[in-house]
Structure 1
């Protein structure tokens, strides 16, 4: 591929988020207690006072995505030459899943059901065994993936149909904002976008890496301290920095390896843990219960604040998926060349939901079986103040050859980290250029810069020892402006694609 020239680098867009991240890193490390209080205060406003903003965006994203797929005039639009897709269905699907799901899917699949176990709302609905798995599938289900899908449609149209030479959020707004995206408004949009993806990466690292550290500590006999966790972060950074230098081909190969590792750990839990029937039946039941109650779950807001479940969990998850929207849909769009918009919509939903649901049903279902059939009180341990990571180790201790299972977990998490962050680094590197086509690759130096930058804020958050509540707050705050940008981009897409259809008599 053609090398991108140095003169194309947009230093303002590249360095402004970097300066913000460094400033926050210093702040979190210098005054951790005050920083935590400020984050918690802002989280209360965005997540509690105006929390309905996030589920409205989630529902709207799914509606728009399905409208594009079902309406022939939009769904039949081809991203390039549909006779020659850039990747086979399997490679495309594995990259969609492994490059959009970071190692936190392993963390949440193993423990999220237990975090819901102490919630009053879950007890009011009918109990832990019945409803905890339902909420895991709901929070990682169609409404969550809808953010990715609709933006992948918008960016794919921008890249492969309109063939724009700026791969940025601001460029996606051009049909609506015109030349304003070339000035201060455009740079502001891009800085917000880059900062949001840094926050998303920071939240993921800060939540999932301690699990990786504890697993490695259990295998090799060392204590999982914060200092050790930071060393593990630096090790992961080295691994995915090397990988991203090989470009999309390297990401594709690693995604394939990651998918086999993922299936390996699912096989271990499903067939070697001795709870195959329970896992399948509980998952089957959870899917049915979720479908039956989907509209109620999607619109539940607890206006009287009887339990705060919607604000603490549902709002957080929609915000969490929103901040990942800055990079992930770009990558899905990039690898979807040669496919119709209908294929992008249904394919992304299909591959994404298949991977996430398998993970939560099998890993979460096994944990449920230990809680309710064998008396391993994970919920009680967490409720009494126990660490989430120690609770996960309790579940692993019930498996045959737990050390082998932990080794598989460590390798799989590192692979997930690498594929996801390679995709993010590749996309954010494109933000560093004033002009770059979908066919060009960012230079290795720029990719290396971003791979290092994405590791800084997580280190600061770990140093500050933020709670889960505070880490969720970082995500909810960063997601607010991204939601506004999402609305603008979708609006711009419908305007631009309607003009395209009209001028080309497409779909008539």
Structure 2
């Protein structure tokens, strides 16, 4: 198979370069047009984001829990490529690691000072409870179901059916050979563009928080200029890492991520308000499960409130824009897993970690605000990215812990961007598992350029806006992807059942033939004559 760049590479590259040039020359106009498109999308299709994401969660659970769950993503009996803990670490790090660090305090405190739908007294106990509930919801099962669906579709096609690891290949069961033509190329181009914007959002969030952390630890200034310099520095590191093979590059950085994240989590849990954290986590889990359906489908047609658009739809869109990247990366590292193991591993374990993470950091911030008079809510209102580091001021060893948190954020950014370069290289190199170095470098530079333009255009607002817009077409594509995957699984299940039926029939035929041969041998042995009727009577 030729690995030379084709239509997908050139078209995606040109589209993104045009975006970078336009954004660099007219950043204010870019933000204005993006906001107008966002208003149109959320007004007319906001409901679709909610229904689609909820449907993806139900679909993944149903597939894993049924007979399809026993199908292995690879040859029957094939062992997984990575150990379970390493596998989970790579999923978590390449998934939403940067977002978890950024929003762990910022989201609960944002809901605390401005409760959803104005349904509670700001900065009161009910607002605190609602803040934790919605934080778990936004980082819970729905978010990871997006990744699980795309990852499952690609892993099944790549390792079970031995087809190239492209998004378009997931549609072969419904589109047939048309995936090799313009339709398939368009699907892959859409996946590339969506991935670049999704990862650029994460790069931007990470850079903004690194800037805040440097301000808290070293007193550096906060602004776009500083953020662009930080982005350039991070880019140099992850571009160098992208030159290493996947097994020796991302794997070890992911392991370091998990160890450092676990250490910081344990430190804050035990050095912070431990009893409050455990109680708040228990309460939030109960609230989450009790209100999951209502939160999943809530809209505000009677009040015109835009809270759902600013929070829930943004999160779902961000996850959807990440789905081709994270899903493809998870598929790449999941060879040998069963569908059941894959789905519950991708949806279950990261959500459990997210719950503990948000309860520890967000719960600590709420405790300090409610019972120790900390002005963390004001810090969030002033600069959302500073919330985490403001919380660390109320723990011992602030400077050391703040420095380690900075390292963690940088590692998460490097892992996410590095993983994305591999996936984008795969998408634009006909699905090869180890794309060429020049391809990985090219897409790394493109990601950094897009992130830089978004920071210039409006910082956090621009990042959120572009995420929602980029996600919409791919969300529609994912609906048809689920249909195509189900058709493929049904075809395999029918083949398995047919094979089992033929095997049973063949076995019964052999048994019958053996019985017949046995009877013939018994009748032909000398000295054995059939008894005459009535002789022994």
Whether TM exceeds 0.5 here: the answer is: yes
| Aligned with 1:322 (options 315, 320, 323) | 320
How far apart are residue 117 of structure 1 and its match? 2.4
Q: 2:369 and 2:26 mapped to 1: Cα distance?
A: 39
**Structure 2 match to 1:277:** 275
Describe how 1:98-497 pairs up with structure 2 within 5 A. Answer: 98-121=93-116, 123-124=118-119, 127-165=126-164, 167-249=165-247, 250-273=249-272, 275-383=273-381, 386-434=382-430, 436=432, 440-466=433-459, 468-497=460-489
Which consecutive aligned stretches of 4+ in structure 1 deviate over 4 angstroms post-superposition? none
User: Is the 2:115–2:127 contact (alpha carbons within 8 Å) kept by the matching residues of 1?
Assistant: no
Tell me how far apart the structure 2 counterparts of residues 107 and 8 of structure 1 sit (CA, whole Å): 38
Q: Distance in 1 between matches of 2:41 and 2:304?
A: 19
Equivalent residue for 1:50, pick from 36, 45, 54? 45
Whether the aligned pair in 1 keeps the contact of 2:74 and 2:335 (CA below 8 Å) is yes
Q: CA deviation at 1:8?
A: 2.2
User: 3-state DSSP class of the match of 1:365?
Assistant: helix
CA contact (8 A) 1:331 1:427 kept: yes
Alignment partner of 1:419: what SS? helix
Moved more, 26-35 or 141-150: 26-35
1:39 to 31, 34, 37: 34
Name the CA distance, whole Å, in 2 between partners of 1:318 and 1:177: 27
Conserved in 1, the CA contact under 8 Å of 2:454 and 2:462? no
Cα deviations across residues 95-131 of structure 1 (Å, max 9, x unaligned)?
1111212422201112111222243536415732111
Q: CA deviation at 1:306?
A: 4.4
RMSD (Å) for aligned C-alpha atoms? 1.9
CA distance in 1, matches of 2:261, 2:358: 12
Structure 1 Cα separation of the partners of residues 475 and 305 of structure 2: 26
Residues 120 and 504 of structure 1: CA distance in aligned 2, closer, same or farther (over 3 Å): closer
Partner of 1:77: 71
5+ long unaligned stretches in structure 2: 502-537
Q: Which structure 1 segments of 5+ residues have no match? A: none
Contact 2:88 2:349 in 1 (8 A): yes
Higher-Rg structure is: 2
Partner of 2:4: 9
Count of matched residue positions in the alignment of Structure 1 and Structure 2:
494
Q: Tell whether the 8 Å contact from 1:217 to 1:223 is kept in structure 2 after alignment.
A: yes
User: Judging changes above 3 Å, is the alpha-carbon distance between structure 1 residues 435 and 276 closer, same or farther for their aligned structure 2 residues?
Assistant: closer
Tell me which moved more, 75-84 or 183-192.
75-84
User: What's the secondary structure of 2:162's corresponding residue?
Assistant: coil
SS of aligned partner of 2:46: coil
Distance (Å, rounded) in 1 between the aligned partners of 2:215 and 2:114: 31
SS of residue in 2 equivalent to 1:247: coil
TM-score normalized with structure 2 length:
0.88
Where 2:221 maps in the other structure, the secondary structure is coil
The answer on whether the counterparts of 1:144 and 1:321 sit within 8 Å (CA) in structure 2 is yes
Closer/same/farther in 2, CA of residues 390 and 255 from structure 1, 3 Å limit:
closer
C-alpha distance 314-435 of structure 1, shift in aligned 2 (>3 A): closer
Aligned partners of 2:74 and 2:159 also within 8 Å: yes
Residues in 2 aligned to 1:97 and 1:257: alpha-carbon distance in whole angstroms: 12
Distance 2:78 2:464 in 1: 43
Instruction: Return the alpha-carbon distance in structure 1 between the equivalents of residues 31 and 346 of structure 2.
Output: 36
Bigger drift between 321-330 and 249-258 goes to 249-258
User: Structure 1's 83 and 430: CA in aligned 2 closer, same or farther, altered over 3 A?
Assistant: closer
**Kept in 2: contact 1:114–1:132 (CA 8 A):** yes
Residues 148 and 343 of structure 2 are in contact (CA less than 8 Å); yes or no, is this contact kept in structure 1? yes
Deviation, 1:137, is 0.2
CA contact (8 A) 1:94 1:351 kept: no
Cα deviation for residue 303 of structure 1 reads 1.7
Task: Say whether the 8 Å CA contact 1:36–1:470 is kept in structure 2.
Answer: yes
Distance of aligned partners of 1:47 and 1:281 in 2 relative to their CA distance in 1, 3 Å threshold: same
* Aligned-partner SS, 2:246: helix
**Normalised TM-score (structure 1):** 0.93
Q: CA deviation at 1:309?
A: 1.8
- 8 Å contact kept, 2:166–2:431: no
* 8 Å contact kept, 1:102–1:204: no
* d(CA) in 2 for partners of 1:90, 1:435: 26
SS in 2 for 1:325: helix
Alignment partner of 1:93 is 2:88: yes
